[in-house]
Structure 1
């Protein structure tokens, strides 16, 4: 049939020797049709290459069977893991996913959300950009379909969310380094304006305080989240008269910059310096020594996201119409060779 006009429901009915209504009931599973007639309709549809038009079907049913997925930055390997899991789980549940990369650009995020609204997505999954845009909070609070935030919450917005407990994440790093005897611990945290970075720092600070250790404020590096920022911050830390014995980098880009700076200074991990990072990245177990990391439960986050969103869809209402569900999942420590007991 390629190259010619698309077959119509009338042609299927004519070939099968049945009414158009019988074809519609059979293909949409919307009424009682005998097995014999179903077989004739299905055979005719297959022979002609006919499939019901998705848009027309959605107008009748009110459902499009697709979900919108707005991702803050596909250059982030952790988000790629989330996307893979979310798409796989959505597909298993019978939903297609429209993926939009905002590239940390609020204007792109705004355009993508408008597109999903115009396409009548059944639900919206949003990993929000770090910076918002005028009207974002109101737009998300008044979604006509169920929506859910993933990884990052938006302060003051009552919408379902699934995130990592980032205070617990920082605390795990603190407890591990303290167990190894480290006291001069530095942190490269990214921007203090970002909630996740603040929470990870809070966890590190409170975890050390619970062990009687005070985090030296001079060893806290605050900038943006780029590899270049991580590199510059690490060089400053390594230039201290009393160099830290351990450094905690709070995201993967910062970790790469930190490792580059350590290599440039000719230092050895963990003999000269222990390093702990965040997330089980593709290279974490391949570098030598392997990277000790605090991991976020990406698969569990994806599973919880899809189950929560599909529950909202089946209820026929959005999170804004009910009390928002704020779900935090726990991180885990994976110890490898980049951290070791302090040398006395």
Structure 2
């Protein structure tokens, strides 16, 4: 293994001079810097990050706990975190909490035990008290995404779920739909709660209430869209539109509609939420609410870096907006009747 001593000998300078170049601290002449950089390249020297961390009392590692890194949505959040911290010379450690309080607590404690300099949290459950106390004593800066379930958070990044859902339901109502089904996510999860509030607000604008439509709740998953959609289409012949609380739910619904021998949008209009990577390639392309999960991660990481840089930073807050993307999966009731 190549050491800093090997580099100093090859470059003909002291170990301390090499250390200053590696750390980026202190003055080094241009000639010596070039000799050291050449020696590092020739020898393939890599600084010992663990030793650097011990000297600086910083690991240069950022932790991130999200619901499930195996899904595209949370992978995009992690992508945004990494995009923000890489220029700051930080590495990333990631874990899943699976919307389970005990799993979330375990992931947080693991981040603390591995000396992360700061943590980004996307939690779906209130933080377990023992984990909150451990985090408080560790004095590690924390930024939360979504609902703030961490008492120690110094920053919060929100997604405008309310306005996104309101715009989607408002769109269906403006197209003349009244026989509507809303396929919500888990009603105990923050995103689903906020989206349902947006649905209610849009209905109120048209003199309606949540009692005037059908609402079914399940997981943000294709299977829920397929199973709920199949059941609804067998039971009801009057439904003209479905608002799926996530594009993955809409994807499952598409299959149920196809198996029922019906056509989107003429037999039933569909609107989703997310504008995930496959939405515009569905058949027909899905009208949906666009959100940018990578920005959630990026803003959270930038807030975290600010907290790490200044102990005087005040509570930081950002909101990521949504927008309705119109494609061809939803049409006016009158147009659907004419085609039929």
| TM > 0.5 fold call | yes
Task: Give, in whole Å, the separation in 1 of the partners of 2:333 and 2:110.
Answer: 54
Task: Give, in whole Å, the separation in 2 of the partners of 1:297 and 1:55.
Answer: 35
Say whether residues 1:41 and 2:49 are aligned partners.
no
2:327 to 302, 311, 336: 336
**Aligned position for 1:163:** 158
Structure with the largest fraction of helix:
2
Say whether residues 1:245 and 2:236 are aligned partners.
no
**Aligned position for 2:210:** 215
* Shift in alpha-carbon separation, 1:230–1:130, aligned structure 2, 3 A: farther
* Shift in alpha-carbon separation, 1:217–1:210, aligned structure 2, 3 A: closer
Give deviations 1:275-319, integer Å, cap 9, x for gaps.
Answer: 1111111221111210000111334323322221111111147xx
**Aligned position for 2:293:** 298
* Shift in alpha-carbon separation, 1:20–1:159, aligned structure 2, 3 A: closer
Task: Give, in whole Å, the separation in 2 of the partners of 1:241 and 1:24.
Answer: 73
- Normalising to structure 2: TM-score of the pair? 0.88
**Aligned position for 2:261:** 266
Which structure 1 residue ranges, 5 or more long, are not aligned? 1-5
Give deviations 1:79-125, integer Å, cap 9, x for gaps.
Answer: 22222232223223332222223444544433332232122222211
**Aligned position for 1:148:** 143
User: Aligned runs of 1:1-344 on 2, under 5 Å?
Assistant: 6-129=1-124, 133=128, 135-139=130-134, 144-154=139-149, 158-216=153-211, 219-241=214-236, 243-316=238-311, 324-343=315-334
RMSD: 2.6
Task: Give, in whole Å, the separation in 2 of the partners of 1:151 and 1:38.
Answer: 46
Give deviations 1:27-56, integer Å, cap 9, x for gaps.
Answer: 223222322233333333333322321111
Task: Give, in whole Å, the separation in 2 of the partners of 1:323 and 1:161.
Answer: 11
Find the residue that maps to 1:338 and give its secondary structure.
coil
* Shift in alpha-carbon separation, 1:140–1:290, aligned structure 2, 3 A: farther
Task: Give, in whole Å, the separation in 2 of the partners of 1:82 and 1:127.
Answer: 10
Q: Report if the CA contact (8 A) 1:297-1:329 is conserved.
A: yes
Q: Report if the CA contact (8 A) 2:141-2:307 is conserved.
A: yes
334-343 or 84-93, which moves further after superposition? 84-93
Q: Report if the CA contact (8 A) 2:65-2:97 is conserved.
A: yes
Which structure 2 residue ranges, 5 or more long, are not aligned? none
Task: Give, in whole Å, the separation in 2 of the partners of 1:53 and 1:297.
Answer: 36
Find the residue that maps to 1:234 and give its secondary structure.
helix
Give deviations 1:142-181, integer Å, cap 9, x for gaps.
Answer: 5522211224432877542212111112111121111111
